[in-house]
Amino acid sequence: MKLALRTGMPIPVLMRFVVRLLANLTDPAAKGFEDRVIRVLESLVPATSNTPPASNQRYPQQKVRVNQ
């Protein structure tokens, strides 16, 4: 974090880009360079959901065998 602040804070163009990226302040119809780069980055990263899946596939129930 110290390195990022030390190298990024003095560069206004970089800081403006980072703020626009993190705050989602882009215009989908804009033709600016920053907006294009952000759209490309958004298309490369898959969308995620905050809700759990309908079926719990992550932890399937295990069947326990009882010896008789």
Instruction: Give the model's pLDDT for residue 31.
Output: 85
- pLDDT tens, 26-67? 887 888 888 888 888 888 988 777 776 666 555 556 666 667
> Contact 41/26 with Cβ under 8 angstroms?
no
Where are the alpha helices (H) located in the chain, listed in sequence order?
2-8, 12-22, 33-44
Mean pLDDT, residues 14-18 taken together: 88
Q: Name 46's Cβ contacts closer than 8 Å, sequence gap at least 6.
A: none
Residue 21: closest CA among 41, 45, 47, 48: 41
With tokens 């065998």, the residue in question is 65
Residue 6: band (very low, low, confident or very high) from pLDDT cuts 50, 70, 90 = confident
pTM: 0.56
